[in-house]
């Protein structure tokens, strides 16, 4: 197992003030309210307009909307309780006085020190101010589910957005068809419920479709929503491996083991096309002479000049 670490003394750096933990009761209640809201409107839909269509021989509507509701409910609950890729707090032996650099496809990344979690954050890792945790491959904090979206639950987030788009569209189309089929009938509770369900379905369908399209573009370019991580030198994104590979890594690739240790360890097996890089600068401080447990990185042996962030 080959490791890459560049430890040099750090002269002076200003760190942000410690984050004050935000109250979690209201955000948790809001996430639970969203689950109840989904179940409530779905219950109205299946009990009134969908029931009327099924009783009149239109079984295709409950056959389609039923599995979509189950998929949406499953993805919503799974995302609420999923692990976004939490990197637990490091050991007290680590300190901010050294600079750690890792290389990704000829791009050098200086690991930022997290004063809250006490370790150097890997590339594309961010400390969420709402959850007060560091999340691997951080995308954003979703207030609708009161959870961060990161490396380990990004596929659940995409599944939720996709299922919500399909389910909202199915609700809207079914309610409109029901209203058209019952134009010759007097106004009833079924029609009122169909209107009540169709209005929020139409209201959520447009922003959800925009969100799905935005996320699809981000996945295709191996980018993330968090704006700080989208700054790449000269338009070069070292994490971009092509559209097909990016989708495979984001949706289908194995997630790997969870980081459950007290100190963050990012050690992986190094293939034959990787090589270690020795210290680029001589140690000039006691902390550099005896560095703490390093964060791992790798340098590809291919040709090309490195870029530094």
The catalytic site residues sit at 142
Going along 201-268, which residue ranges are E strands?
none
Q: Cα–Cα distances in Å, from 184 out to 57, 187, 194, 281?
A: 18, 9, 16, 83
- At a CB cut-off of 8 Å and minimum separation 6, what does 187 contact? none
Q: Cα–Cα distances in Å, from 89 out to 20, 104, 119, 204, 263?
A: 17, 24, 7, 38, 6
Residue 12: count of CB within 10 angstroms of its CB:
4
Backbone angles phi, psi at 301, to 5 degrees: -90, 0
Would you state the structure tokens that stand for residue 73, as one six-digit string? 């409910």
CA 90, chain centre distance (Å): 22
Backbone angles phi, psi at 10, to 5 degrees: -105, 125
Please check whether residue 115 is in contact with residue 18, taking contact to mean a CB–CB distance below 8 angstroms.
Answer: yes
Residue whose C-alpha is closest to residue 148's, from 255, 205, 224, 230: 224
Would you state the structure tokens that stand for residue 221, as one six-digit string? 């370019």
In three-state secondary structure terms, 215 is: helix
Would you state the structure tokens that stand for residue 308, as one six-digit string? 């530094």
Residue whose C-alpha is closest to residue 199's, from 47, 44, 33: 44
CA 104, chain centre distance (Å): 21
Stretch (H or E) spanning 38: helix 25-47
């Amino acid at each position: 197992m080959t490791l890459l670490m560049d430890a040099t003394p750090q002269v002076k750096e200003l760190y942000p003030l410690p984050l004050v933990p935000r109250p979690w009761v209201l955000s948790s209640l809001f996430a639970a309210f969203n689950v109840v809201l989904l179940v409530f409107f779905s219950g109205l839909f299946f009990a009134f307009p969908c029931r009327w269509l099924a009783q009149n021989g239109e079984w295709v509507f409950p056959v389609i909307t039923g599995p979509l509701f189950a998929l949406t409910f499953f993805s919503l609950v799974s995302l609420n309780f999923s692990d976004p890729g939490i990197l637990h707090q490091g050991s007290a032996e680590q300190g901010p006085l050294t600079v750690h650099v890792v290389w990704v496809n000829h791009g050098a990344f200086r690991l930022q020190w997290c004063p809250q979690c006490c370790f150097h954050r890997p590339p594309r890792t961010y400390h969420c101010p709402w959850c007060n945790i560091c999340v691997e491959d951080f995308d954003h904090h979703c207030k609708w589910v009161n959870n961060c979206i990161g490396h380990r639950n990004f596929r659940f987030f995409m599944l939720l957005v996709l299922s919500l788009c399909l389910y909202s569209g199915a609700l809207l189309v079914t309610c409109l068809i029901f209203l058209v089929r019952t134009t010759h009938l007097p106004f009833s509770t079924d029609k009122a419920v169909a209107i009540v369900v169709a209005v929020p379905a139409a209201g959520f369908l447009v922003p959800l479709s925009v969100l799905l399209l935005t996320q699809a573009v981000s996945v295709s370019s191996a980018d993330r929503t968090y704006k700080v991580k989208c700054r790449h030198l000269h338009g070069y994104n070292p994490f971009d491996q092509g559209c097909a590979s990016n989708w495979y890594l984001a949706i289908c690739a194995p997630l790997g083991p969870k980081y459950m240790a007290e100190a963050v360890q990012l050690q992986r097996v190094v293939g034959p096309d990787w090589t270690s890089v020795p210290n680029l600068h001589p140690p000039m401080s006691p902390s550099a002479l005896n560095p703490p447990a390093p964060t791992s990185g790798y340098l590809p042996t291919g040709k090309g000049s490195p870029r530094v962030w």
